[in-house]
């Protein structure tokens, strides 16, 4: 097991040793909170933003803050459930990768049976959130499990598991719209496809952290497939995402203010694509995490286009 310094934080593998979980959570709960990545919230943000974008796009004005909060809680729970599913499926691989060997299941802190029981609890909590929505949104939310469950196995069969993650992580672009309107439309479909390309970009950057270990154990990824062509490829992914986001805003009837306000979000993505260092793991992680800023910038643009 190894420990490194990342900024002012000490990490064991990819887990912080000095975060709030280690300082404040009761000892018996710590492995479970780390299993659901509660100490690493970036995944929750990446799952949540497509939901919030879609809610704001559908609301054509100030969105329902209770609905936004409900989706925030749901994203936290369901991201945790997805991490548990992923870690159960990847427990043998994770034990062979230096960055992930300290995770609760491969390190023996949580057994597979305990992880399965915890997963059931998280899914039940997620169901309690989902049933607060309208019937169409409930059915659509339940359908997302058809994407969530197979995701951990995609890296065994395709070079593009990041594309499957895009289909999974951006389901909220459909669900948020459905929660507001009770149906679907062309605008959320465009936003969903845009999210797929966005995820394909940021998760390719992220996957460069593990490419050497992945090659040794036979795990596929877009980072390995693209190699030195990653920078131009991610640039294209992000440009397609931005074009589809703009199209979604146009179809939804947002004002000209949206298109002007989209510029900072576009600049953030281009900064990622043009300055990434694919052989520098800390830089890849920093670029990946910077997508939280992109999420806020795009949400601000949608709200501006709706309200002004």
Query: For residues 52 and 65, is the Cβ–Cβ distance under 8 A?
Result: no
Q: In terms of Cα–Cα distance, which of 78, 304, 47 is closest to 198?
A: 47
Structural contact between residues 84 and 118, judged by C-beta atoms closer than 8 angstroms? yes
DSSP 12: E
pTM for the structure as a whole: 0.89
Which pLDDT does position 33 carry in this prediction?
87
Reference 194, options 274, 270, 249; nearest CA is: 249
Gap between the Cα atoms of 149 and 245, Å rounded: 27
pLDDT on residue 73: 95
Residue 44 and residue 83 in contact, taking contact as beta carbons nearer than 8 Å: no
Burial of 7 (0-12, 13-18, 19+ CB in 10 A): exposed
> Nearest Cα to 115, choosing from 144, 90, 151, 134?
90
- CA-to-CA distance for 249 and 302, rounded, in angstroms? 8
- Other beta carbons within 10 angstroms of residue 233's beta carbon come to 17
Gyration radius of the chain over CA positions: 19
How many CB atoms neighbour CB 297 within 10 A? 18
Q: Which residues pair with 245 in a beta bridge?
A: none
In the chain, which stretches have pLDDT less than 70?
A: 1-18, 94-96, 98
Which parts of the chain fold into alpha helices (H)?
20-24, 30-35, 42-59, 65-89, 91-94, 112-130, 135-143, 145-148, 151-157, 161-169, 172-181, 186-207, 211-217, 222-226, 230-251, 256-275, 281-289, 291-307
Characterise 5 by phi-psi region: left (phi > 0), alpha (psi -120 to 50), beta (else): beta
What pLDDT sits at residue 28?
A: 83
Q: What are the sequence ranges of the domains in the chain? A: 3-307
Tokens of 295: 């999420």
Please tell me the CATH superfamily of domain 3-307, with its number.
UbiA prenyltransferase (1.10.357.140)
**So what's the pLDDT on residue 1?**
37
- Residue 29 Cα distances to 24, 42, 109, 197, angstroms: 10, 21, 11, 36
pLDDT at res. 5: 43
The b-or-e profile of 83-110 (16+ CB within 10 A means b, else e) is bbbbbbbbbebbbebebbbbbbbbbeeb
Question: How do strand 15-16 and strand 3-6 relate by DSSP bridges?
Answer: unpaired
């Amino acid at each position: 097991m190894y420990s490194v310094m990342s900024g002012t934080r000490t990490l064991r593998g990819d887990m912080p040793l000095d975060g709030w979980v280690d300082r404040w959570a009761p000892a018996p709960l710590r492995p479970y909170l780390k299993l659901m990545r509660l100490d690493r919230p970036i995944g929750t943000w990446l799952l949540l933003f497509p939901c919030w974008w879609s809610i704001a796009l559908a609301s054509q004005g100030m969105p329902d803050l209770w609905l936004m909060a409900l989706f925030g809680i749901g994203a936290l729970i369901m991201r945790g459930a997805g991490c548990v599913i992923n870690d159960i499926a990847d427990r043998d691989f994770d034990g062979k990768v230096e960055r992930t060997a300290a995770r609760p299941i491969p390190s023996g802190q949580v057994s597979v049976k305990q992880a399965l029981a915890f997963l059931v609890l998280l899914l039940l909590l997620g169901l309690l959130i989902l049933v607060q929505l309208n019937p169409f949104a409930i059915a659509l939310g339940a359908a997302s499990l058809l994407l969530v469950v197979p995701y951990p196995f995609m890296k065994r069969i395709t070079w593009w598991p990041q594309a499957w993650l895009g289909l999974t992580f951006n389901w909220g672009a459909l669900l948020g719209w459905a929660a507001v309107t009770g149906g679907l439309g062309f605008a959320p479909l465009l936003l969903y496809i845009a999210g797929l390309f966005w995820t394909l970009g940021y998760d390719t950057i992220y996957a460069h952290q593990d490419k050497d270990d992945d090659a040794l154990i036979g795990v596929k990824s877009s980072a390995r497939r693209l190699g030195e062509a990653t920078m131009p490829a991610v640039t294209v992914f992000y440009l397609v995402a931005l074009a589809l986001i703009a199209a979604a805003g146009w179809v939804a009837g947002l004002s000209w203010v949206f298109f002007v306000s989209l510029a900072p979000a576009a600049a953030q993505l281009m900064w990622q694509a043009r300055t990434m260092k694919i052989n520098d793991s800390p830089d890849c992680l920093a670029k990946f995490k910077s997508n939280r800023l992109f999420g806020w910038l795009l949400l601000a643009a949608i709200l501006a286009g709706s309200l002004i």
